Amino acid sequence: MDFAFIPSPSRGVIHLGPIPLRGYAFCIIIGVFVGVWIAGKRWAARGGEKTTVADIAVWAVPFGLVGGRLYHVITDYELYFGKGKDWVNAFRIWEGGLGIWGAIALGAVGAWIGCRRRGVPLPAYADALAPGIAFAQAIGRWGNWFNQELYGRPTTLPWGLEIDAVHRPLDTPQLATYQPTYLYESLWCVGVGFFVIWADRRFRLGHGRAFAVYVAAYTVGRGWIEYLRVDDAHHILGLRLNDWTSMVVFVGAVIYLVISAKRRPGREIVVEPLAASAAEEAGEAEEPTPSPTTIRKPTPPLGMGPEAGASAGAGSEADASAGEGRKDGASAGGDSPVGASAEEVPKADDAPAAVTDSPVASDEEPADTDTTGAGAVAEPTGAGAGTTQTS
């Protein structure tokens, strides 16, 4: 008698009035949402728009469901088209029966259509989606627990799965506990998801190589887990069909990794051209407008107050005006200062402080020199301010 085991649910469906709520369907739906959410975060981190993954998933998910169901029906056709079987049951997807190989293959076709419509490269999209698919599988596998299906060989391990008599194999109806292969694959997929995230960060995988790492890692686990299962399956050379499929897909993923790394090393710089263009335009629009040049007032010399500095500045302006006046006077009246017109000589009222505050006007001007400028004005000659002399 086993005292420790994993119990199975008494039923896999709950009716909300006339609406059946099936545990298998809930696991698939939750897995899809989690996978798309993770992929959206990864896509946005690489420069794409957050909604792109969901928009493409609108194409990929239905194609994947159809592909998964087709693979199951084709590989287990005797369950639906054998003698005494009802082929209509092939459409009852809620009862279980999805092949991951068909889901990935046809789902990739749907993703390709969505990527073409969105204008993004399919390999980059697959890289963003890779760990999300692994986590979605980890959640979806619990649907097998609700349906009490796809378990492994009989076991007495403390984590053995208890199976109701109606769901046990025909050759071991007396045994109640079996290997919980759904749990093994769920945990394996969680590990694969984190492994892909680590490898992508460590090696900066691009051009579909992160997706190839997911495929290779998943097939390794699927191989040994498939070997434990006891449900009906086709065998080739003593191995289940899914074991052979895992080996072929693993080899293909490794070959792609090697060839892709040689032909296209590194990763894509831009994963969504439209999003990159929009970001550049937004950046240009937000650039600040250059501020006008600030005109600074002259700084007063050391030891001078603000008033003295202002007087010195006025004296400097007066000296410059005086210099211009001398040049104009020379051109108009030769060497004689009388030739300068009243209009060319600045008014005395314009710079009264320059006479007393500017040391240049009083110390550096030689004696007996005629000047025409505000810096040498002693008294205004007239109301019009004409030529002045100093001796």
How far, in Å, CA of 178 to CA of 164, rounded? 11
Place of tokens 């892709």: 260
The residue out of 220, 242, 276 marking a domain boundary is: 276
Judge whether 109 lies within some domain: yes
How far, in Å, CA of 210 to CA of 123, rounded? 9
Judge whether 211 lies within some domain: yes
| Domain identity same for 251 and 350 | no
Number of residues that make up the chain = 391
Judge whether 316 lies within some domain: no
Which pTM does this prediction carry? 0.70
| Domain identity same for 35 and 152 | yes
| Domain identity same for 249 and 159 | yes
How far, in Å, CA of 374 to CA of 352, rounded? 8
Q: Supply the range of the domain harboring residue 225.
A: 13-276
Identify the pLDDT of residue 27: 95
Identify the pLDDT of residue 95: 78
Judge whether 92 lies within some domain: yes
How far, in Å, CA of 165 to CA of 304, rounded? 106
| Domain identity same for 339 and 250 | no
| Domain identity same for 143 and 27 | yes
| Domain identity same for 32 and 101 | yes
Identify the pLDDT of residue 286: 60
Cα–Cα nearest to 346, from 311, 314, 375: 375
Contact indicator for 147, 163 with CB cutoff of 8 Å: no
Judge whether 1 lies within some domain: no
Judge whether 314 lies within some domain: no
| Domain identity same for 167 and 37 | yes
| Domain identity same for 205 and 128 | yes
Structural domain count of the chain: 2
pLDDT tens by residue, 124-161: 999 999 999 999 999 999 999 999 999 999 999 999 99
Judge whether 187 lies within some domain: yes
The residue out of 276, 305, 332 marking a domain boundary is: 276
Task: Please identify every stretch of the chain with a pLDDT value under 50, giving residue numbers as ranges.
Answer: 1, 293-295, 303-391
Cα distances (angstroms) measured from residue 170 to each of 173, 187, 346: 6, 28, 121
| Domain identity same for 366 and 270 | no
Dihedral, 15, 21, 22, 26 alpha carbons, nearest 10: -160
Judge whether 175 lies within some domain: yes
| Domain identity same for 248 and 341 | no
| Domain identity same for 335 and 265 | no
| Domain identity same for 360 and 250 | no
The residue out of 276, 302, 331 marking a domain boundary is: 276
Identify the pLDDT of residue 102: 96
pLDDT tens by residue, 336-390: 433 434 444 444 444 444 444 444 444 444 444 444 443 443 344 443 344 444 4
